[in-house]
Amino acid sequence: MNEMIYVVEDETDILELIRIKLKAAGFKSRGFETAVGLQQIIRTEAPDLIILDLMLPDLDGMEFCRLLKSDPGTEKIPILMLTARAEIEDRVKGLEYGADDYLTKPFDASELIARLHAILRRSSWESSKNVLQITPDFLLDFDRYEAYINQKRVDLTLTEFKILQLLTKRPGWVYKRGQILDYLWGNDN
């Protein structure tokens, strides 16, 4: 496995608990108690995934997520928000700001690990197949989230594109509605 996970959490006890659980699951990890601490190293040592608390002492986690996702150097790093903010508005905002998943505290360590595996599976699959030619006339560009038919761009919403992306993972496979929703939004569908 050997994926590197950065954990941004200002509560030392929770930070250490997460790092212990990550190590037991076979992940490498590095902890940060502030967003600035992570900003200082992320350019030279990018992680495979970031676990991000929202209530940080130096910068709001939502804003920090938005900054990471708007920067070409860090936009592709998956982010799991792990926070005590459990309101639906916070969850929606977190996902809209670019988080790949959202988990509330208190949390179960096995669920956290399962969500990390799911995010990493999706992100590794997406990054390993940047352009996929379905037929001679039908092409999907996963870097740009664009579809082309006869070399003309087809206007799709992000959700429509992600459904196409899922369907290309296993051609001929029939997905249940719940499986599609889990792929699109995790357990917060």
Percent of the chain with pLDDT over 70: 95
Residue 188: pLDDT band (50, 70, 90) is low
Mean pLDDT of the chain: 87
Homologous superfamily assigned to 4-127: Response regulator (3.40.50.2300)
Q: Give the Cα separation of 62 and 94 in Å (integer).
A: 6
Residue 124: pLDDT band (50, 70, 90) is low
Q: What pLDDT is recorded for position 128?
A: 46
Looking at residues 156-169, what average pLDDT do you find?
A: 86
pLDDT at 19 over 90: yes
Domain 129-185 classification at class level:
mainly alpha
Q: Give the Cα separation of 32 and 151 in Å (integer).
A: 46
pLDDT in tens, 21-49: 999 999 999 999 999 989 888 878 889 99
pLDDT in tens, 50-108: 999 999 999 999 999 999 998 888 888 999 999 898 899 989 998 999 999 999 999 99
Please report, for the chain, the start and end positions of each structural domain, with discontinuous segments joined by +.
4-127, 129-185
| Cβ proximity of 179 and 165 under 8 Å | no
pLDDT at 177 over 50: yes
Which of 8, 103, 118, 126 lies closest to 19, judged by CA? 8
DSSP 130-163: SEEEEETTEEEETTTTEEEETTEEE---HHHHHH
